Structure 1
Amino acid sequence: MNPALVYAHEVLERLEQAGFQAYLVGGCVRDRLMGREPADYDVATDALPEEVQQVFPKTAPTGIQHGTVGVLHPGLMTEVTTFRKESTYSDQRRPDEVTFVTSLEEDLSRRDFTVNAMAEDRKGRLYDPFGGQEDLARRRIRAVGQAVDRFKEDSLRMVRGIRFAAQLGFVLDKETEAAFELAKMDLTILAVERVAMEMRKLFRSASPSRGLTYVWQHELVHFLPPFIQWEGVSKAPDVPLSLLDSLAGVEARWAGFLMSCGVDQDRLIPCLRSFRLSKKEVTAIATVFQLALATKTWQEERRVKTAILLHGWDLVQQGIELAGGMEGRSFTEREEQKQQIQSWYDEMPVLSATDLVIDGRELLQATDKAPGSWLGEALHHLLHQTALGDLPNEKERLIEEGCRFGKKLT
């Protein structure tokens, strides 16, 4: 049994022994009903946060102001949250006031979608006051109660609904989808970081196109940060959204999505930065975007090998895959191209400077030169020559070429 589930059941048992109600809630219940293994398990209880802290010897106040206490286990944590109801959302993100309650149903009623508003007790009995199990069977995402009310409380729930549709392969319930038109103006106040987090999850899903289709159908790009800051966002996707589903890499999906928005190379970096992604993410996505446009590269062995040295095999693979999709190549054609480039990659005797049979210290000794920027340039030159097959990975030949190259730099 999954250790996270074992620990969660221990938490349920300890709380019940202490005289409290306790249930598994939310996404873990949904995933279990779908036959999936949840990544973690959340617990809801009528015990107050301070009472939870008294029941368990090791806890962490992970969100105690909102009723959440983390129960610590060896290498894992189970989040335990007190049943609560929420007041109005003045900032359309957080409730103005949280009130602890003793009713499980009242707690479940504040949740976003019915498939996330179910609970399960320690004996496996399901509590489903809003029809979440039926919605799972119908493969639909439906808001708890009035959808417009849920979206007015926190407009990110519209983005989450889109993301859940992509992750689960579901469709939006008609009334829930209709509420987009009544609430989408509120998207403008969302923090970009929250949108970016949902986008990351969306691009890791099985079918991003399923969610992104709703973005264009309801013109959400005209309301959703950071798109509202961009100029010239396409009214219809410039790249078929179905292409994103066929791409294995997250960076390629980001790049393909930007292309579908009409982003060109001149606006690429500013648009990526507007999501406030990490520098590493921006660099990787931009690399795949640019590689996909360099279609001539993939016809020439030396260019392909040079690209692998510069950017790494994973990003080059993603660039090739995206390029093939953009060009409308058939699956067979794309597979043949991948196999050709895979064979070139397999032929490369070295992929990094650490694969060379000499290192910088040995090259310094051989040249009797002082350390400096030339050394890095020389090692890069040796790597390039060896990777392309122009120089054998043999110590004597590498030192000879390194000395020649070093003299050329002085």
Structure 2
Amino acid sequence: MTEVREAAFKVLARLEKAGHQAYLVGGCVRDRLLGMEPADYDIATDARPERVQALFPKTVATGLKHGTVTVLMDGQSVEVTTFRRETGYRDHRRPDRVRFVTELRQDLSRRDFTVNAMAEDRRGRLHDPFNGAADLKQGVIRTVGRAEDRFAEDALRMIRALRFSAQLGFRLEKKTRTALERQKPLLRHLAVERVTGELEKVWKAEEPSRALRPLWEMELFPHLPPFAAWGVPVPAPRIPFIRVDTAKTRRARWSLFLHLCGVKGEEAERRLSSFRLSANEVRAISTIHRLAVNWDLSPQDVVTGKKRLLRHGFEPLEAALTAAARIRGWESAEEAVLRSALHRWHREMPVHRLEELRLNGQELIRALHQPPGPWVGSVLQSLLEKAALGEVPNEREALIREGRRLVEPNT
């Protein structure tokens, strides 16, 4: 038993001992039925939030309005939520009213999909009023109750349906898919950050193509933030969706998604910013995308390749290679030759960054008897490149001599 599962069972036991109903619910039940170990465990109970806080010495008021308290047990966090019903949803994003209830079935009935609407007590008894276990066996994503109602309550459920399809390798049940196509205008109510959050989960799936293909097939882009605000329609996909599946890194998948959406290298930073990613991520992914769409390195371009490694780093350049191979449809052997060259160039370079240079700015200033200034950074970069290419040994005295030659070319 993992530490987090053991902690969850201690929480269940204490709630039951205090006279309350308590069950594992949602994704942890689903994942265990699929033979996967859950990353976290959620608990639903008839105990009110203030009662949960009173029963456990260490808690965090995660969302008291919605009945959620995080219990800290043996160094683990276990989210405990009171049985509830939700009504209203005027903004198609969150409930207007939350009402605490005493029956497990009422709580499960508010959930999005049948595979997420199961509960299990600490004795292993499954509570499955909406046949989620059967849908797990059949590989189906089906809403709890009428699909149109579930999607009208929270439009993000439409994108979550696609994400679960990719995450679990399941197909959308026919009525659920039909309702999604009918309700897609409601996607405009979504906050960009919520859409981005789902995409980030899609990139972790074995087959992200299962989530991406329906975006085009169902014509969701005109309604979906941030695409609806781009001002230009998303074109037909330029490469087979399955190529995204074979790229295993997150940033390479972002690049391929941009390519599928018709984003050019010089547009990448602006388009990525619309997803509200961090500035660091926007810079990193846009650099990878520019390198990928403009890839021009061959195994013979040793000097250019090493300079590019020096400028961008190994991981970004390898991610760009991964994306470039799929954008251009290279055979696996061609990609393997280039990847091997990239690894070889990296191994051959004595230094990869300024911190590895055996000469710093202060030492350079003292050795050359020059005042500080912009020249220091410029000379160090030149020395780094020369050392990386093997033109100058990465030794203090040799670097000082070359630095003097660069600063005093006529001496």
Compute the TM-score of the two structures, normalised by the length of structure 1: 0.97
Contact 2:23 2:122 in 1 (8 A): yes
- 1:17 paired residue number: 17
Contact 2:92 2:154 in 1 (8 A): yes
Q: Distance in 1 between matches of 2:339 and 2:213?
A: 29
Contact 1:232 1:262 in 2 (8 A): no
Q: Distance in 2 between matches of 1:83 and 1:294?
A: 54
Superposed, which structure 2 residues align to 1:8-407 within 5 Å? Answer: 8-299=8-299, 300-407=301-408
Q: Which amino acid aligns with 1:212?
A: L
Q: Distance in 2 between matches of 1:298 and 1:283?
A: 25
Q: Distance in 1 between matches of 2:4 and 2:351?
A: 42
Higher mean C-alpha displacement, 2-11 vs 361-370: 361-370
State percent identity of aligned pairs: 49
Q: Which amino acid aligns with 1:109?
A: S
**Distance verdict in 2 for CA 1:164–1:245, change over 3 Å:** same
SS of aligned partner of 1:326: helix
SS of aligned partner of 2:236: coil
- 1:4 paired residue number: 4
Deviation at 1:358, TM superposition (A): 2.1
Count of residues in Structure 1 that have an aligned counterpart in Structure 2: 409
Tell me how large the CA RMSD over aligned residues is. Answer: 1.4
Deviation at 1:235, TM superposition (A): 4.0
Q: Distance in 1 between matches of 2:325 and 2:181?
A: 36
SS of aligned partner of 1:110: coil
Q: Which amino acid aligns with 1:68?
A: T
Contact 2:235 2:262 in 1 (8 A): no
Q: Distance in 1 between matches of 2:400 and 2:109?
A: 72
1:81-138 Cα offsets, whole Å, 9 max, x none, are 0000111211111111100001111100100011111111111111111111111111
**Distance verdict in 2 for CA 1:59–1:408, change over 3 Å:** farther
Query: Which contiguous aligned blocks of 4+ residues in structure 1 show a shift greater than 6 angstroms?
Result: none
Higher mean C-alpha displacement, 112-121 vs 268-277: 268-277
SS of aligned partner of 2:382: helix
1:267-307 Cα offsets, whole Å, 9 max, x none, are 32221111111101111111111111232234411121111
Question: What residue ranges of structure 2 are gaps of 5+ in the alignment?
Answer: none
1:49-100 Cα offsets, whole Å, 9 max, x none, are 0110111111111000100011113542111000001112111111111000
Q: Which amino acid aligns with 1:322?
A: A
Q: Which amino acid aligns with 2:183?
A: A
1:27-67 Cα offsets, whole Å, 9 max, x none, are 11111111111111111000000110111111111000100
Q: Distance in 1 between matches of 2:173 and 2:61?
A: 37
**Distance verdict in 2 for CA 1:329–1:12, change over 3 Å:** same
Q: Distance in 2 between matches of 1:162 and 1:115?
A: 14
Contact 1:298 1:320 in 2 (8 A): no
Q: Distance in 2 between matches of 1:371 and 1:24?
A: 64
Q: Distance in 2 between matches of 1:37 and 1:396?
A: 56
Q: Distance in 2 between matches of 1:291 and 1:377?
A: 24
Contact 2:251 2:285 in 1 (8 A): yes
Contact 1:84 1:99 in 2 (8 A): yes
Q: Which amino acid aligns with 2:329?
A: G
1:210-242 Cα offsets, whole Å, 9 max, x none, are 111111110001110110112333342122211
Higher mean C-alpha displacement, 376-385 vs 364-373: 364-373
Q: Distance in 2 between matches of 1:408 and 1:28?
A: 68
Q: Distance in 2 between matches of 1:365 and 1:75?
A: 52
Compute the TM-score of the two structures, normalised by the length of structure 2: 0.96
Higher mean C-alpha displacement, 69-78 vs 133-142: 69-78
Q: Which amino acid aligns with 2:198?
A: E
Q: Distance in 2 between matches of 1:308 and 1:296?
A: 14
**Distance verdict in 2 for CA 1:216–1:400, change over 3 Å:** same
Contact 1:195 1:225 in 2 (8 A): yes
1:351-403 Cα offsets, whole Å, 9 max, x none, are 11111222223222211222222222222111111111211112211111122
1:162-206 Cα offsets, whole Å, 9 max, x none, are 111111111111111111122101001111111111111111221
Q: Distance in 1 between matches of 2:284 and 2:41?
A: 33
